[in-house]
Amino acid sequence: MKKLMLTSALAGVLVSSAAFAQTTITGEIRVNLKSVGSSVASGTTTTSGRGFGTEQQVNVQTKGKLNVGGLDYAAGFAFENDGQQVGTLFNENSYIDLTNASSGTTISFSQDHIQRSDTDRSAAVLVGHSPNELSSSGHAGTRFSQNLGPAVGQSWTVSILQQVGSFGTLSYSYAPSLTNAVSDGGLGAATTLRTGTAPSETFAEGDDEGGYEYGFVGSLGVKGLNTYYFNSAANTKGALTTIPHAQSYGASYNMGEFTIGYANKRYNANTTNMDTTEKHYGVAYAINNQATLGLIYGKAELEGNAVTQKVKGINLGYALGPVDLTVSLARNTDIGGTVGNDSDMGMVRLIGKF
């Protein structure tokens, strides 16, 4: 009976606390149509195809104040389905944040949530698709990659974020165990540091000792400027012959209708000592309040290989009220570092938000 009374009392506290919270449910659906034609040095078509891709996501978020210390809190998670996802549907934007508003300090227990480098976002991608998305079909072995090095942000981390006035936000994240499979930059192999996150009240520990990432995102006090810098690494090799690591930095600057951007990525997640370096360049022009035209150029190099893979793309974005439309055309050359391996790609993407 005592146990029942304690449980009932706790339930009452939880219900009364919820009355001070603000909970929202949002979502997004993406439908993407892609068409690719590829050729080798002889000019013979080796890969061509077209088809739909899709992603659906539902976000559950809440925020409020703790009853101690005057701290703000925010918590949330997402149901995410990429195509027909076989694994977990809960691996995106899961978090509990505790924030001291007066000092601008946040402690975050999260996965795929805070600012970080291992995303497909680039300061040079001002509208439309990234170099990775524009090169991820056709010939196998594209040099461009979404995940950088140990991909710390895709593991569960404890992080501290410190806002520095109008300059930006500093962050440091520590992952006790890396939970994500890391790729070698698109050369066809992958090395799994961990097999997955454990259930609640248990733990999963491997021969690695996790990883860390520190970084900065902000305007440096300059209107229209956005900059970032990140550095990450695994703490030990584990079964790997090379310690996965990554460095990423970039900037974009808005000048009214025109915006320019640059991004630089250098990373290693494979079992060799060769780094991959990506450089992205972008420019965008806002035609009106609904339409934006963007150009993007990217190149990716593998250390020790003289051949550079390049991608050139044009993106058109159009806001249709609750739905966004993006149309992209791209040309890939010397895919995977092989001269003459080229592809042409076209993509149309619709994004509906609710």
Per residue, what are the HEC states of 267-303?
EECCCCCCCEEEEEEEEEEECCCCEEEEEEEEEEEEC
| 201 close to 212: Cβ distance less than 8 angstroms | no
What pLDDT, on a 0 to 100 scale, did the predictor assign at position 285? 95
- List of the chain residues with pLDDT < 70: 1-21, 41-46, 85-91, 118-121, 136-141, 179-208, 236-242, 269-272
What pLDDT, on a 0 to 100 scale, did the predictor assign at position 100? 95
Quick: pLDDT tens for 228-241: 999 998 876 555 56
Q: How many CB atoms lie within 10 A of CB 260?
A: 16
Alpha-carbon span 47 to 40, nearest angstrom? 9
What pLDDT, on a 0 to 100 scale, did the predictor assign at position 39? 78
What pLDDT, on a 0 to 100 scale, did the predictor assign at position 212? 92
Name 327's Cβ contacts closer than 8 Å, sequence gap at least 6: 128, 315, 316, 318, 346, 347, 348, 349
Q: Across-strand partners of 292?
A: 286, 317
Domains in the chain (CATH in brackets) are 24-342 (2.40.160.10)
Separation of CA 18 from chain center: 31
What pLDDT, on a 0 to 100 scale, did the predictor assign at position 17? 44
What pLDDT, on a 0 to 100 scale, did the predictor assign at position 151? 81
Quick: pLDDT tens for 319-347: 998 899 999 999 999 888 888 888 899 99
What pLDDT, on a 0 to 100 scale, did the predictor assign at position 131? 87
| 245 close to 267: Cβ distance less than 8 angstroms | yes
- What is the pTM for the complete model shown? 0.83
What pLDDT, on a 0 to 100 scale, did the predictor assign at position 3? 35
